């Protein structure tokens, strides 16, 4: 259950952090021209901007901490601060790390503002505007949530808010620099068009996990499920349901002393489909595995990855999984196994 909580916390804190970063970016654009009204004087806008920035930093910290602590993906503390060092979706995770490093530079320069030249501080503060698009690309490229409709709409709203603020800024500022405003506007429009085309052809299409650089061991569950045989049912029945499992189990040793265990089986009885489980851990004295990380996929033969997610518990012959469909529907699966050589049988139960 703790692992399950971490899994959802890292997703939730990432989304909240991006929304807060969007709000601070919009306020930064608005306050750059000394925005002031009768109800909200300039210092009030600036104070709100600072407070939202601090809250955003807190959620970014929580997002990083829960991601590292979760252990589902091989992301360590070094990868959280040193870009492009993680084996998991290296480019897209690295862009998020760059965004964090830029925000750290902005935060440190703000704390030292009285000790550095105003021009230097302003130049460093511009890095905050660079961090937002990097964080947005990180959200699309690293996670799977953008394929959920409500998350996609939220991300599009963030883009619309920043674009609207930028358009207003270009119309309100630099009255004597029409060429500069036109150039900035053209670059911004081109960025939006190219970003939209990339998102539509990449993260929002199936198969992105493999193309994005997910380690092969984490993809093995889907690959194994694709090679399994089962009924060609269009979808699993609505949960709750119970079914029988028949399949195979294989194990191999890794160079770091850990072992990988793969279970691939056919589901029959109360549901028809396939189930694939991938475990990584260390061997215990009883011939079992002390779990470090695990993933799973389940679905009909025609769509073996209909539900995908992580292993949340391993105790004796029982394996617990928390799976999610491509539309965001959750499914909790408990599997009780019986192993005989390379053959495995068991019973599974699924609840929404």
How confident is the model at residue 3, as a pLDDT? 54
Question: Is the previous residue joined to 240 through a cis bond, with omega within 30 degrees of 0?
Answer: yes
State the maximum Cα–Cα separation within the chain, in Å, rounded to a whole number. Answer: 80
Task: Flag whether the pTM goes above 0.75.
Answer: no
CB 294 within 8 A of CB 280: yes
Helices (H), ranges, 32-117:
42-70, 77-81, 90-111
Question: How many alpha carbons fall within 13 Å on the CB side of residue 39?
Answer: 0
Confidence of residue 256 (pLDDT cuts 50, 70, 90): low
pLDDT digits (tens, 9 = 90+) for 82-98: 999 888 888 999 999 99
Q: Encode pLDDT of 168-213 as tens digits.
A: 888 776 666 777 778 888 888 899 999 999 998 888 886 777 777 7
Query: Which tokens go with 128?
Result: 């905050």
Cβ atoms 314, 291 nearer than 8 A:
yes
In tens, the pLDDT along 130-156 reads 999 999 999 999 876 787 888 889 999
> How far, in whole angstroms, is CA 233 from its chain's centroid?
30
Count Cβ neighbours within 10 Å for each residue of 198-233 and write b for 16 or more, e otherwise.
ebeeebeeeebbeebbbeebbbbbbbbbeebebeeb
């Amino acid at each position: 259950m703790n692992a399950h909580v971490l899994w959802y916390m890292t997703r939730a804190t990432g989304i909240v952090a991006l929304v807060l970063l969007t709000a601070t970016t919009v306020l930064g654009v608005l306050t750059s021209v000394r925005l002031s009204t009768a109800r909200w004087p300039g210092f009030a806008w600036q104070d709100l901007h600072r407070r939202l920035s601090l809250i955003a930093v807190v959620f970014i910290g929580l997002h990083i901490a829960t991601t590292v602590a979760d252990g589902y993906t091989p992301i360590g503390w070094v990868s959280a601060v040193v870009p492009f060092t993680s084996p998991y979706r290296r480019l897209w995770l690295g862009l998020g790390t760059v965004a964090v490093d830029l925000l750290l530079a902005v935060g440190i320069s703000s704390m030292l503002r009285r000790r550095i030249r105003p021009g230097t501080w302003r130049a460093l503060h511009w890095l905050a505007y660079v961090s937002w698009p990097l964080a947005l690309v990180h959200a699309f490229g690293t996670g799977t949530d953008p394929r959920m409709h409500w998350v996609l709409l939220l991300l599009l709203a963030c883009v619309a808010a920043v674009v609207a603020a930028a358009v207003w800024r270009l119309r309100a500022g630099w009255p004597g620099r029409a060429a500069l405003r036109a150039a900035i506007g053209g670059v911004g429009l081109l960025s939006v068009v190219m970003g939209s085309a990339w998102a539509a052809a990449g993260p929002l299409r199936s198969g992105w996990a493999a193309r994005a650089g997910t380690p092969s061991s984490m993809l093995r569950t889907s690959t194994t499920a694709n090679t399994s045989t089962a009924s060609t049912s269009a979808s699993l029945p609505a949960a709750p349901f119970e079914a029988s499992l028949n399949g195979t189990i294989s194990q191999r040793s890794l160079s770091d002393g850990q072992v990988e265990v793969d279970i691939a089986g056919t589901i029959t009885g109360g549901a028809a489909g396939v189930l694939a489980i991938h475990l990584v851990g260390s061997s215990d004295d009883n011939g079992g595995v002390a779990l470090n990380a695990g993933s799973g996929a389940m679905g009909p033969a025609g769509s073996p990855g209909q539900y995908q997610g992580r292993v949340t518990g391993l105790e004796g012959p029982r394996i617990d999984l928390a799976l999610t469909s491509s539309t965001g529907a959750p499914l909790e699966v408990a599997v009780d196994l019986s192993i005989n050589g390379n053959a495995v049988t068991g019973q599974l139960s699924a609840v929404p």
